[in-house]
Homo-oligomer: A and B are copies of this chain.
Amino acid sequence: MKRIAESTVRRLSLYLSFLEGTERQGLKTISSDELARLGGTTSAQVRKDLSLFGSFGKRGLGYSVPELSEKLREILGLGRQWQVCIIGAGKIGAALARYRGFAERGFNVTAVYDIDEAKIGKRWENLTVRPISELETDAAKQDFDIAVVATPAESTAAVVKQVVRAGIKAILNFAPVQLSVPADVTVRNVNMAMELEGLSFALSNRGE
């Protein structure tokens, strides 16, 4: 299969969330035009995105909402549970551990790690903060699919090295640094400063 652009995957994700809304409203079919309207894109874009994975619609009618939802869930790999560990028991880590959105989508947070002695052993929800030094041996016993990294900038590089050593192939990075990882590890960055600066830029350069 040809390489799929990140922007495409983001849109698929978006389409899925619209389909779920549409499904709740009880509608049975939806057109590429309607999906485009909801997602702020064009109908051609929607059809092109979907056509990368097959041909799911009916000409003259549109797409079956439950069928397309199911297909998208399959494409996005949401048909299974993913095991997630959180690295960094600070404020962001704490907020994430409590975040219900993870479990709703099949992402199970099964462990929290930190480097800081003071935090190790504390209980969070139903989890106990464990020392990051144990990550590699723990990972041998229970598979982790995704590591959520929420550590201070300075300790992040070291922490990520351990995550990679533990064989984890996907990282959701909240630390404000660029991670360097082998090619087979996928990283998604969530960087508040960057988003704010994007807004700041937009506000500063309007009408030029």
Contact = CB atoms under 8 A, between A and B. Distances in A.
B39 A200 contact: no
B204 A77 contact: yes
Contact of A172 (B102, B180, B199, B208): B199
Contacts of A197: 9, 12-13, 16, 76-78, 105
A107 B195 CA distance: 12
B39 A202 contact: no
Contacts of A6: 198
Contacts of A160: none
Identify the 7 closest CB pairs spanning chains A and B, nearest first.
Answer: A77-B204, A186-B202, A77-B200, A170-B199, A95-B95, A13-B197, A13-B194
B91 A98 contact: yes
A120 B195 CA distance: 28
Contacts of A14: 178, 194
Interface string A90-108: 0110010011011001010
Given A1-B208, A201-B76, A105 B196 contact: yes
Given A91-B98, A105-B193, A198-B10, A203 B178 contact: no
25 contacts: A1-B208, A9-B198, A12-B197, A12-B201, A16-B197, A17-B176, A17-B177, A18-B178, A40-B178, A76-B204, A77-B201, A77-B205, A78-B197, A91-B98, A91-B99, A95-B95, A101-B192, A102-B192, A105-B193, A107-B200, A146-B196, A146-B203, A172-B196, A184-B206, A190-B190
